[in-house]
Structure 1
Amino acid sequence: MSVTIYGIKTCDTVRKARAWLDGHGVAYRFHDFRAEGLERDRLAGWVKAVGWEVLLNKAGTTFRKLPEADRQDIDEPKAMALMLREPTVIKRPVLENGAAVSVGFKPGQYEALFPGS
């Protein structure tokens, strides 16, 4: 099963998630969506799997710095356009484990995703 973790390398939560994966011997590929971008189809798959409300990090600095018009009346199409334009508003990390998608990091969450690791 292929594991890919998406985020930005300077994010502390992404660092913690990567350290957990490394410490538990889970092989993965890291995709920095600030440097490598993010495809619309991949984002659409995440939205279908977990919902745009879970993916959009309204508490983050990037979101709070957006113009008021960008933060008002957000629906799925507006959220997707915003996340494609400003991928750092996506809650991190996003982990793909085969067809499963997980957002954020907590050790217990990863222990459930990778039992026995």
Structure 2
Amino acid sequence: MITLYGIKNCDTIKKTKKWLEAHDLPYEFHDYRVDGLDPQWLQKVIEANGWETVLNKRGTTYRQLSDEQKADIDAAKALTLLSEQPAMIKRPILQKDDATVIGFNESTLKEVFC
């Protein structure tokens, strides 16, 4: 079973759900706002993929941070920011067994999950 992490109103999450359904891939959706965010899970994702991959700097939430908040980001600071503002986590994050895919890339999704 694939676990899809994100926020239900996100267009990329909607696109990912459609892609999974079109490929008959069963999934469970975990909404950070509804289901919460496990800090230990987030820390593991950051350790495995790098905070630069997990932190979405293109989103509105990140852009609204103060210059002080954006300064000197490292893994620990990223973990704190992402825990406080899960909307800054790059979407989607898909996990199945030991495989993790961050972001929507159709060829990567096919390679990993099909």
Same fold (TM over 0.5): yes
- Determine helix, strand or coil for the equivalent of 1:69: helix
Q: How far does the alpha carbon of each residue in 1:71-94 deviate from its partner, in whole angstroms, 9 at most, with x for none?
A: 111011000000000000000001
Alpha-carbon separation, structure 2, partners of 1:79 and 1:86: 10
Q: TM-score under structure 2 normalisation?
A: 0.95
Aligned residues with identical type, % of pairs: 42
- Larger RCO of the pair (alpha carbons < 8 Å, separation 6+): 1
Matching residue of 2:3: 4
Stretches of structure 2 lacking an aligned partner (at least 5 in a row) = none
Matching residue of 1:105: 104
Q: TM-score under structure 1 normalisation?
A: 0.93
| Structure 2 residue identity aligned to 1:47 | I
**Aligned counterparts, 1:1-117, within 5 A:** 2-115=1-114
| Structure 2 residue identity aligned to 1:36 | D
Offset at 1:108? Answer: 1.0
Say how many residue pairs are matched.
114
Alpha-carbon separation, structure 2, partners of 1:112 and 1:65: 35
